[in-house]
Amino acid sequence: MNLDPRKMNENIRGNVVLPHGTGKKYVVAAFVPHEMRAEAKAAGADILGDDALLKAIESGVKPTFQVCIATPDQMRKLILVGKQLGPLGLIPNPKMGTLTEDPIKAIREAKRGPVMVKLNEQRDIMATLGKVSFGEEKIFENLKFCICLTFMLDDRSLIQQLRDDLKPEGAKEQYFLKAFLKTTQSRSYQILIDDKEPWVNELKANLQS
């Protein structure tokens, strides 16, 4: 990425929900008001957070969930276990879509298998796009969605993606520099990802000439 992770206005962080998921299963905990608990469970929440769970975590019990979703009014409770949840990346965060006024939507997205998008010190973003068993078509659709498309999903909500929604305000005109696709054990193959980028059109022209 043509971004500097040391600059706040060039950093990038968020969740991308892929149309075909990642193939991973996530245990989702939801901390919501009492009147929303039944709806949260129906939406797919595996664990409904309560005082007993918070006390267990505070006493040293390791959380069994990989995603923690909460409404703003529940954060005062979660702050008490911030030391336990923070190092695990489980503190609900509005940038990640896990601290929200619409937890039902967030739960549904989390169960699809979100991909955390975060710029590392090498200016790279590493993202899981699925499994080889998905086949070429599904992996390609996940890739396109992650980079440059916004699809309308069944809850009629627009989902974040790298091209525009997650683009930091300090980003330069040339946003993507290079992109590579690989399996866990294979070598990397450079790919053309976004025809909105000038360098992609230049590469296309060179390949066609």
pLDDT digits (tens, 9 = 90+) for 158-185: 344 555 566 777 777 777 777 888 998 8
Measured in degrees and rounded to the nearest 5, phi and psi for residue 72 equal -55, -35
- In whole numbers, what is the pLDDT of the chain averaged over residues? 82
What's the length of the chain?
A: 209
Report the percentage of the chain scoring pLDDT > 90: 42
- Residue 57 banded pLDDT, cuts 50, 70, 90: very high
The CATH number of the domain where 66 resides is what? 3.40.50.790
**Which range is most confident: 88-97, 98-107, 143-152, 200-209?**
98-107
Tokens of 20: 């075909």
Statement: residue 47 has pLDDT above 60: yes
Do both 122 and 197 map to the same domain?
yes
Residues with Cβ within 8 Å of 96's Cβ and at least 6 positions away in sequence, in order, are 13, 14, 15, 116
pTM above 0.75, yes or no: no
| DSSP H or E run through 103 | helix 103-112
Query: What pLDDT is attached to residue 190?
Result: 84
Query: What pLDDT is attached to residue 33?
Result: 97
| DSSP H or E run through 113 | none
Of the candidates 112, 144, 177, which is a domain's last residue? 112
How many domains, the chain?
A: 2
For residue range 68-81, what is the model confidence (pLDDT) as tens digits?
Answer: 999 999 999 999 99
Do both 17 and 119 map to the same domain?
yes
Of the candidates 112, 147, 168, which is a domain's last residue? 112
Do both 68 and 122 map to the same domain?
no
Query: What pLDDT is attached to residue 142?
Result: 85
Do both 4 and 82 map to the same domain?
no
Do both 208 and 128 map to the same domain?
yes
Question: CA 53 → CA 8, 31, 37, 73, distances in Å?
Answer: 35, 10, 15, 17
- Residue 209 banded pLDDT, cuts 50, 70, 90: low
- Residue 207 banded pLDDT, cuts 50, 70, 90: low
Range of the domain at 51: 25-112
Do both 129 and 150 map to the same domain?
yes
Statement: residue 4 has pLDDT above 90: no
Do both 97 and 167 map to the same domain?
no
